[in-house]
Amino acid sequence: MEPSRSGGTAETAAFMRALHLRVDGDPKIYEDPLAAVLIGPERAMALEAASPMSQTPELTAFRAIFVVRQRHAEEELAKAVARGVRQYVILGAGLDSLGYRSPDLTEMLRIFEVDHPSTQQWKRQRLTERGITIPGNLTFVDSLFFN
């Protein structure tokens, strides 16, 4: 992985979440308004180009994998918080945006985003460029196991 760049999987997952908001009808399965911000300007331009051709059955199913998985994870997290869980570890966090867009859910949690150092460096750069504050309850954990 090149330094200061996110992993392809991280960008693909965020791209699919952003594309879902752009092309899929209402009600949305999952809403992540920060996904388009985090993918970066090059990928955001690709989002425009992808919109017209994104409704094929194959791409719709591929996109659904990402948005349904994310919604399920966050619904289960909400249940865990209600039961008293106070720590959340996101392995291979990539461009996950939960900690930045869901203060109602995450204010009681200590969040650990575990990922490759290059992915985390790229993500922090994107957050800074967009004026998105890293919450005090969020910790980045470098791991070389994510390539």
Query: What are the angstrom distances between the C-alpha of 89 and each of 67, 77, 111?
Result: 19, 11, 6
For residue 2, pLDDT over 70 is answered with: no
Beta strands in the chain (DSSP E): 87-91, 110-115, 138-142
**43/36 Cα distance (integer angstroms):** 8
Q: Which residue has the higher pLDDT, 45 or 63?
A: 63
| pLDDT, greater one: 144 or 120 | 120
Domains annotated for the chain, with CATH where assigned, are 8-142 (3.40.50.150)
Query: What average pLDDT does range 25-35 have in this prediction?
Result: 94
Closest by CA to 68, choosing from 8, 13, 10, is 13
| Residue 15 or residue 3, greater confidence | 15
